[in-house]
Amino acid sequence: MPALHRLPLAARRSFRLALTATLALTTAYGLAIPLPFIAPLMAVVLGATAQPPPGAKQSFVLLLILTLMFSVGVLLGPLLQYAPVSALLLIGLGLYVSSQLAIVGGKDAPATLLALGLTAIPAASTVSQALASALIIALVVGTALAIASLWLAYLLFPEDPQPQNAPVPAAAATEDGHWRSLRATLVILPAFLLTLSNPAAYLPVTVKSILLGREASDVKLRGAAREMIGSTAFGGVCAIALWMCLSLAVQLWFFAVWTLLFALLIAARAYGAHASRLGPGFWVNTLTTMLILLGSAVQDSANGKDVYQAFIVRMALFLLVAVYAVFALSLLEWWRQRRMSRRFKESRPC
């Protein structure tokens, strides 16, 4: 067995996630695909679950289904302009279904992509079909690069062999799954409405809200502020630190090396290779926030915008979305507990 295969499982998972994100980032920026930060972001979504990468047939079917779903998203753009209420109801229903797919079905990566197709692409198509087409290319090509990167990293840092009678993770209970899906949907929708006011500027906010919605469906009320607001703020700090390091030499290989280092330090805490009092969700959310902010900053720099002003605005919006997510989670849980208490009182015999 190669020496790398003898590393502890937590270390292998940390190296694999960091390497997957770095390979996807380097390839995306090297090929100059539209919105290249999508590729490393999808690499984290696919690789964070520590599952083997999908096979060639599964990958092809996934990309084909994604292309079809994203095409439906383009059709929702004109509907948003001429029948906004109907379009919002359809999008809300689609987000609920995507949350069900993740929570009850255990298909987190396809569910995230479905949510992106139902929000980001219709918003982009209200501006122009060219922007929507560029976003579809970014999502499909970025996902393909993420899968290829995960395969390469998995060859170096595989999982332990699973026993034949390994227990299958239990799915969420149906009633609890409906409730958690509703929570996730209500977290995403306000950010989507904000994005409709200026899709080109606020698209990263929608991406962030989808990831927060996934986290809100799993996180408990106690510690929700630390998990969602704290990880968002720390992701911003990491993005600033990496940007300052990148300014020493603005080259792709330098970008890749610093991304690998930062991603490895974060992944090591997510998988327990380095002790941390914070849960894996905190560190995965930190990494995704860092990648979104960093990718947006690179795009701002290439377009001649004020990077620091744009970062401050974007970071403020990210924190606002995280604060809203915590508030919505608290309010919904309070309403649910009150409703359950009322039902309990009514069911008691006199």
The C-alpha angle 211, 182, 118, rounded to 5 degrees, equals 55
Give the chain's radius of gyration (CA, Å).
20
pLDDT at 168: 47
Give me the residue label for tokens 């009150």.
338
Q: Which residue stretches of the chain have pLDDT < 70?
A: 1-5, 105-106, 161-177, 216-225, 339-350
pLDDT at 1: 46
Helix (H) or strand (E) holding 11: helix 9-31
Give the span between the Cα atoms of 16 and 296, in whole angstroms.
24
Helix (H) or strand (E) holding 5: none
202 close to 194: Cβ distance less than 8 angstroms: yes
pLDDT at 196: 81
Tabulate helix, strand, coil % of the chain (nearest 5): 80, 0, 20
Residues 6+ apart with CB under 8 A from 314: 204, 205, 293, 296
SS3 7: coil
pLDDT at 88: 87
Give the span between the Cα atoms of 244 and 83, in whole angstroms.
46
pLDDT in tens, 54-66: 778 888 887 887 7
192 close to 91: Cβ distance less than 8 angstroms: yes
pLDDT at 15: 92
Closest CA to 66 of 128, 148, 143, 147: 143
Residue ranges of alpha helices (H) inside the chain are 9-31, 38-47, 56-82, 84-103, 108-125, 129-156, 174-197, 199-216, 224-225, 231-246, 252-270, 280-302, 307-347
Task: Provide the residue type at 319 as one letter.
Answer: L
pLDDT in tens, 101-158: 877 766 777 788 888 888 888 888 887 777 788 888 888 888 899 999 999 998 888 8
147 close to 158: Cβ distance less than 8 angstroms: no
CA atoms lying within 13 Å on the CB side of residue 126:
23
pLDDT at 112: 80
Give the span between the Cα atoms of 240 and 212, in whole angstroms.
21
pLDDT at 263: 93
pTM of structure: 0.84
